[in-house]
Protein backbone atom coordinates (compact mmCIF):
# COMPACT_ATOMS: atom_id res chain seq x y z
CA UNK A 1 0.00 0.00 0.00
CA UNK A 2 2.85 2.34 0.76
CA UNK A 3 4.22 1.77 -2.74
CA UNK A 4 0.86 2.75 -4.25
CA UNK A 5 0.95 6.03 -2.38
CA UNK A 6 4.48 6.74 -3.56
CA UNK A 7 3.46 6.03 -7.12
CA UNK A 8 0.52 8.42 -6.79
CA UNK A 9 2.83 11.17 -5.55
CA UNK A 10 5.19 10.52 -8.47
CA UNK A 11 2.36 10.47 -11.00
CA UNK A 12 1.06 13.80 -9.73
CA UNK A 13 4.57 15.23 -9.76
CA UNK A 14 5.23 14.05 -13.29
CA UNK A 15 2.00 15.63 -14.53
CA UNK A 16 2.99 19.00 -13.03
CA UNK A 17 6.55 18.60 -14.35
CA UNK A 18 5.19 18.04 -17.87
CA UNK A 19 3.02 21.14 -17.48
CA UNK A 20 6.01 23.19 -16.30
CA UNK A 21 8.14 21.89 -19.17
CA UNK A 22 5.49 23.03 -21.66
CA UNK A 23 5.28 26.48 -20.03
CA UNK A 24 9.08 26.82 -20.19
CA UNK A 25 9.06 25.72 -23.83
CA UNK A 26 6.32 28.17 -24.78
CA UNK A 27 8.32 31.04 -23.31
CA UNK A 28 11.70 29.76 -24.51
CA UNK A 29 13.05 29.59 -20.97
CA UNK A 30 16.00 27.34 -20.16
CA UNK A 31 15.54 25.89 -16.67
CA UNK A 32 18.13 24.54 -14.25
CA UNK A 33 17.56 22.51 -11.07
CA UNK A 34 20.50 22.78 -8.64
CA UNK A 35 20.80 20.25 -5.85
CA UNK A 36 23.37 19.21 -3.25
CA UNK A 37 23.94 18.70 0.47
CA UNK A 38 23.57 21.54 2.97
CA UNK A 39 26.77 23.55 2.79
CA UNK A 40 27.86 22.28 -0.64
CA UNK A 41 27.99 25.96 -1.64
CA UNK A 42 24.96 26.08 -3.93
CA UNK A 43 23.95 29.66 -3.11
CA UNK A 44 27.49 31.04 -3.28
CA UNK A 45 28.02 29.33 -6.62
CA UNK A 46 24.73 30.75 -7.84
CA UNK A 47 25.71 34.28 -6.75
CA UNK A 48 29.02 34.08 -8.58
CA UNK A 49 27.49 32.56 -11.70
CA UNK A 50 24.60 35.07 -11.79
CA UNK A 51 27.07 37.92 -11.52
CA UNK A 52 28.82 36.65 -14.68
CA UNK A 53 25.61 35.94 -16.62
CA UNK A 54 23.28 38.79 -15.68
CA UNK A 55 24.44 41.18 -18.40
CA UNK A 56 23.85 38.58 -21.09
CA UNK A 57 20.59 36.96 -19.96
CA UNK A 58 17.34 37.85 -18.20
CA UNK A 59 17.35 35.49 -15.23
CA UNK A 60 14.85 34.46 -12.56
CA UNK A 61 15.62 32.37 -9.48
CA UNK A 62 13.47 30.16 -7.26
CA UNK A 63 14.99 29.43 -3.85
CA UNK A 64 13.86 26.33 -1.95
CA UNK A 65 14.47 26.11 1.79
CA UNK A 66 12.88 24.50 4.81
CA UNK A 67 12.74 27.86 6.57
CA UNK A 68 14.03 31.46 6.26
CA UNK A 69 14.38 33.75 3.23
CA UNK A 70 18.14 34.14 3.75
CA UNK A 71 19.09 32.76 0.34
CA UNK A 72 16.44 34.76 -1.54
CA UNK A 73 17.73 37.95 0.08
CA UNK A 74 21.27 37.15 -1.04
CA UNK A 75 20.07 36.68 -4.64
CA UNK A 76 17.77 39.74 -4.60
CA UNK A 77 20.65 41.91 -3.39
CA UNK A 78 22.44 41.42 -6.73
CA UNK A 79 19.37 42.60 -8.66
CA UNK A 80 17.89 39.26 -9.75
CA UNK A 81 14.12 38.45 -9.58
CA UNK A 82 13.73 35.75 -6.96
CA UNK A 83 10.89 33.84 -5.32
CA UNK A 84 11.49 31.98 -2.05
CA UNK A 85 9.63 28.73 -1.41
CA UNK A 86 9.64 27.57 2.23
CA UNK A 87 8.80 23.89 2.46
CA UNK A 88 8.13 24.13 6.20
CA UNK A 89 10.31 21.12 6.93
CA UNK A 90 9.71 19.37 3.59
CA UNK A 91 12.83 17.74 2.22
CA UNK A 92 12.59 18.61 -1.48
CA UNK A 93 10.87 20.84 -4.04
CA UNK A 94 8.21 19.22 -6.19
CA UNK A 95 6.85 20.25 -9.57
CA UNK A 96 3.57 21.54 -8.11
CA UNK A 97 5.41 23.99 -5.83
CA UNK A 98 7.26 25.33 -8.87
CA UNK A 99 4.04 25.52 -10.90
CA UNK A 100 2.39 27.63 -8.20
CA UNK A 101 5.10 30.28 -8.05
CA UNK A 102 5.64 30.68 -11.81
CA UNK A 103 3.01 33.48 -11.99
CA UNK A 104 5.45 35.47 -9.83
CA UNK A 105 7.71 35.88 -12.88
CA UNK A 106 7.15 37.68 -16.19
CA UNK A 107 7.73 34.44 -18.07
CA UNK A 108 8.03 35.99 -21.52
CA UNK A 109 10.76 38.31 -20.29
CA UNK A 110 12.96 35.49 -18.96
CA UNK A 111 15.73 33.59 -20.73
CA UNK A 112 16.84 31.45 -17.81
CA UNK A 113 15.15 30.17 -14.66
CA UNK A 114 17.37 28.68 -11.97
CA UNK A 115 15.85 26.63 -9.16
CA UNK A 116 17.96 26.06 -6.07
CA UNK A 117 16.56 23.00 -4.36
CA UNK A 118 16.46 22.23 -0.62
CA UNK A 119 19.90 21.20 0.69
CA UNK A 120 19.64 17.42 0.50
CA UNK A 121 21.60 14.93 -1.61
CA UNK A 122 18.82 12.33 -1.47
CA UNK A 123 15.18 13.33 -1.91
CA UNK A 124 15.33 16.14 -4.52
CA UNK A 125 16.90 13.70 -7.01
CA UNK A 126 13.61 11.77 -7.27
CA UNK A 127 11.48 14.77 -8.29
CA UNK A 128 11.44 16.07 -11.86
CA UNK A 129 10.58 19.79 -11.79
CA UNK A 130 10.37 20.12 -15.58
CA UNK A 131 13.96 21.36 -15.80
CA UNK A 132 16.27 21.17 -18.84
CA UNK A 133 19.45 20.73 -16.85
CA UNK A 134 20.20 19.18 -13.50
CA UNK A 135 23.29 20.28 -11.58
CA UNK A 136 24.64 18.47 -8.51
CA UNK A 137 26.99 20.59 -6.40
CA UNK A 138 29.32 18.73 -4.06
CA UNK A 139 31.92 20.32 -1.82
CA UNK A 140 35.33 18.63 -1.82
CA UNK A 141 35.15 18.73 1.99
CA UNK A 142 32.31 16.18 1.87
CA UNK A 143 34.80 13.45 0.98
CA UNK A 144 35.38 11.38 -2.14
CA UNK A 145 33.14 8.47 -1.12
CA UNK A 146 29.95 10.47 -1.63
CA UNK A 147 29.17 9.64 -5.31
CA UNK A 148 29.19 5.91 -4.50
CA UNK A 149 27.19 6.39 -1.30
CA UNK A 150 24.55 8.69 -2.85
CA UNK A 151 24.42 7.37 -6.41
CA UNK A 152 20.91 8.49 -7.38
CA UNK A 153 21.73 12.19 -7.35
CA UNK A 154 24.84 11.66 -9.49
CA UNK A 155 23.16 9.17 -11.81
CA UNK A 156 20.62 11.75 -12.94
CA UNK A 157 22.91 14.79 -13.05
CA UNK A 158 23.82 16.53 -16.30
CA UNK A 159 26.49 18.60 -14.57
CA UNK A 160 28.46 17.83 -11.40
CA UNK A 161 30.25 20.75 -9.76
CA UNK A 162 33.09 19.94 -7.38
CA UNK A 163 33.11 23.09 -5.28
CA UNK A 164 35.44 24.65 -2.66
CA UNK A 165 38.55 23.46 -4.50
CA UNK A 166 40.43 26.27 -2.74
CA UNK A 167 40.44 23.99 0.33
CA UNK A 168 41.00 20.75 -1.59
CA UNK A 169 44.35 20.13 0.08
CA UNK A 170 42.94 20.66 3.59
CA UNK A 171 39.98 18.40 2.70
CA UNK A 172 42.21 15.47 1.82
CA UNK A 173 39.93 14.39 -1.03
CA UNK A 174 41.50 12.62 -4.02
CA UNK A 175 40.08 14.75 -6.85
CA UNK A 176 41.01 12.45 -9.74
CA UNK A 177 39.62 9.33 -8.05
CA UNK A 178 36.38 11.14 -7.22
CA UNK A 179 35.99 12.29 -10.83
CA UNK A 180 36.53 8.71 -12.00
CA UNK A 181 33.86 7.50 -9.56
CA UNK A 182 31.38 10.11 -10.82
CA UNK A 183 31.99 9.15 -14.45
CA UNK A 184 31.71 5.46 -13.64
CA UNK A 185 28.24 6.12 -12.15
CA UNK A 186 27.26 8.54 -14.90
CA UNK A 187 29.51 8.66 -17.98
CA UNK A 188 27.58 11.58 -19.52
CA UNK A 189 28.08 13.90 -16.49
CA UNK A 190 30.01 17.07 -17.27
CA UNK A 191 32.28 17.93 -14.36
CA UNK A 192 33.36 21.44 -13.34
CA UNK A 193 35.78 22.30 -10.54
CA UNK A 194 35.01 25.59 -8.83
CA UNK A 195 35.83 27.87 -5.95
CA UNK A 196 33.65 30.78 -4.94
CA UNK A 197 36.40 32.43 -2.94
CA UNK A 198 39.24 32.59 -5.43
CA UNK A 199 39.87 35.43 -7.86
CA UNK A 200 39.87 34.99 -11.60
CA UNK A 201 40.82 31.37 -12.20
CA UNK A 202 38.15 29.56 -10.22
CA UNK A 203 36.14 27.48 -12.71
CA UNK A 204 32.99 29.59 -12.29
CA UNK A 205 33.61 31.35 -15.62
CA UNK A 206 33.60 28.06 -17.52
CA UNK A 207 30.39 27.02 -15.83
CA UNK A 208 28.73 30.38 -16.55
CA UNK A 209 29.82 30.25 -20.20
CA UNK A 210 28.41 26.76 -20.56
CA UNK A 211 25.05 27.75 -19.05
CA UNK A 212 24.79 30.87 -21.25
CA UNK A 213 25.53 28.75 -24.31
CA UNK A 214 22.83 26.19 -23.45
CA UNK A 215 20.31 28.94 -22.67
CA UNK A 216 20.88 30.73 -26.00
CA UNK A 217 20.72 27.41 -27.84
CA UNK A 218 17.27 26.67 -26.41
CA UNK A 219 16.07 30.21 -27.15
CA UNK A 220 17.17 29.84 -30.78
CA UNK A 221 15.13 26.68 -31.21
CA UNK A 222 11.95 27.64 -29.42
CA UNK A 223 11.30 31.25 -30.41
CA UNK A 224 9.71 32.09 -33.73
Q: Which residue ranges make up the site for a second copy (CB under 8 A)?
A: 2, 5, 9, 37-39, 65-68, 70-71, 89, 91, 118-123, 126, 139, 141-143, 145-146, 148-152, 164, 166-167, 170-172, 197
Name the residue nearer to a second copy (CB basis): 10 or 57. 10
Name the residue nearer to a second copy (CB basis): 27 or 178. 178
Closest separation in Å from C-beta 209 to a second copy? 27
**CB neighbours of 42 closer than 8 A, spacing ≥ 6?**
34, 35, 36, 116, 117, 119, 137
- What's the CA gap between 107 and 100, in Å, rounded? 13
Closest separation in Å from C-beta 18 to a second copy? 20
Closest separation in Å from C-beta 65 to a second copy? 6
Residue 76 burial class via C-beta count within 10 angstroms: exposed 0-12, middle 13-18, buried 19 and up: middle
Closest separation in Å from C-beta 204 to a second copy? 17
Name the residue nearer to a second copy (CB basis): 131 or 142. 142
Are 63 and 75 contacting, i.e. CB atoms less than 8 angstroms apart? Answer: yes
Q: How many Cβ atoms from other residues are within 10 Å of residue 187's Cβ?
A: 7
- What's the CA gap between 156 and 189, in Å, rounded? 9
Name the residue nearer to a second copy (CB basis): 18 or 170. 170
Amino acid sequence: MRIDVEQDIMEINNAYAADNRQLFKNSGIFTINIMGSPGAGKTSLLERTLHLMQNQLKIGVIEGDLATAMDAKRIASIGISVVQINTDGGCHLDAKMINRVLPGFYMNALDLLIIENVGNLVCPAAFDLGEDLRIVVMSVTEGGDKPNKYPNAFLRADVVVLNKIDILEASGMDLEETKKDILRINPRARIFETSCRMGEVCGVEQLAEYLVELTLEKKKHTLP
